[in-house]
């Protein structure tokens, strides 16, 4: 399909403008001037690029959603975070798995870094606050990184949707200018003279709209999809952070209970 389109465009550059019968849309494209042909080439490139992005982005988002569903099932049904971490490495396309991996590794670093501080002051609440703050920053950064990854290449869709109609309009205006110039040189303004040039010029506007409409629709669809996935990531990050907070509370209560038992034992001996 692409080879046939490029062959037609290549033929348009080589074919003389004056010797082509104007019997169809392709004939009008082939008979257009050099500037209009250049506009059509630009629009053709943008259209092919947009369709490639549409198919690839659809595949990426579908795979991310499927793997994230599997990861959520694993996460909520597993009692061991280390097991979840090992299994999550197999889900490279899952945005939720990536957020979990970032949070889990940050939790491990905090555990190692705070061991010495806990030994000196096991009841220090500042250590626990540091854990929560660092976890929040790590998870927030992971969410932002995944959003940027999922939004990658959507800019071209937005650019095409905004600029393609104006690029096509430029080709139309230029073609009409050339058509009126030809009218002036021939000294005739009959319909048979005016219509071919104007119809050739309007092809550029039609091509611009043909490139822009799918790009705008796809951009809005994918942007809405990424926003939904971002909400899912934020909710999961909050759930993961709540699990860490509950674990800290449990550890703190166990430490307090141990301290009370030790103190009570000392009083009994006195």
Residue 227 to residues 67, 71, 132, 150, 222: CA-CA distances in angstroms?
A: 18, 20, 26, 10, 9
Q: What is the mean pLDDT of residues 121-134?
A: 69
pLDDT band at 187; cut points 50, 70, 90: low
Q: Token pair for residue 176?
A: 């009409």
Tell me: pLDDT of 221 over 90: yes
Is residue 191 exposed (0-12), middle (13-18) or buried (19+ Cβ within 10 Å)?
exposed
Q: How far, in Å, CA of 219 to CA of 226, rounded? A: 10
pLDDT of residue 108: 86
- Residue 255, classed as helix, strand or coil, is helix
Q: How many CA atoms lie within 13 A of 15 on its CB side?
A: 20
pLDDT, residue 175, reads: 81
Cα dist from 103 to 26, 133, 138, 241, 242, whole Å: 57, 12, 6, 9, 12
Confirm if 11 and 175 have CB atoms less than 8 A apart.
no
Q: Give the Cα separation of 216 and 194 in Å (integer).
A: 34
pTM: 0.75
Task: Say what the pLDDT of residue 15 is.
Answer: 42
Calpha distance 99→244 (Å, rounded): 14
Tell me, what's the pLDDT at 58?
A: 95
Percentage of the chain beyond pLDDT 90 is 47
Answer whether residue 163 shows pLDDT above 60: yes
pLDDT in tens, 75-111: 999 888 899 999 999 999 999 999 999 999 988 888 7
């Amino acid at each position: 399909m692409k080879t046939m389109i490029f062959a037609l465009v290549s033929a348009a550059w080589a074919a003389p403008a004056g010797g082509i019968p104007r019997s169809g849309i392709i004939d009008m494209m082939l008979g257009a001037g050099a500037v209009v042909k250049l506009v059509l080439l630009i629009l053709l490139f943008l259209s092919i690029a947009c369709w490639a992005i549409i198919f690839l982005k659809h595949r990426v988002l579908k795979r991310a959603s499927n793997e994230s569903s599997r990861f959520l099932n694993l996460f909520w049904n597993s009692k061991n975070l280390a097991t979840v971490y090992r299994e999550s490495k197999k889900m490279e396309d899952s945005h939720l798995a990536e957020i979990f991996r970032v949070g889990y590794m940050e939790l491990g670093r905090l555990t190692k870094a705070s061991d010495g501080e806990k030994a000196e002051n096991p009841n220090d609440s500042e250590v626990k606050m540091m854990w929560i703050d660092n976890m929040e920053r790590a998870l927030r950064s992971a969410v932002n990184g995944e959003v940027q990854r999922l939004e990658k290449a959507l800019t071209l869709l937005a650019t095409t949707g905004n600029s393609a109609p104006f690029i096509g309009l430029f080709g139309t205006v230029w073609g009409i200018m050339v058509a009126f110039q030809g009218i002036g040189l021939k000294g005739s303004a009959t319909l048979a003279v005016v219509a071919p040039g104007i119809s050739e010029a309007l092809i550029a506007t039609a091509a611009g709209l043909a490139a822009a409409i799918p790009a705008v629709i796809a951009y809005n669809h994918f942007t809405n999809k990424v926003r939904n996935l971002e909400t899912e990531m934020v909710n999961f990050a909050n759930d993961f952070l709540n699990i860490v907070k509950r674990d800290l509370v449990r550890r703190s209560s166990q430490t307090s209970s141990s301290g009370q038992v030790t103190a009570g034992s000392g009083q009994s001996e006195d």
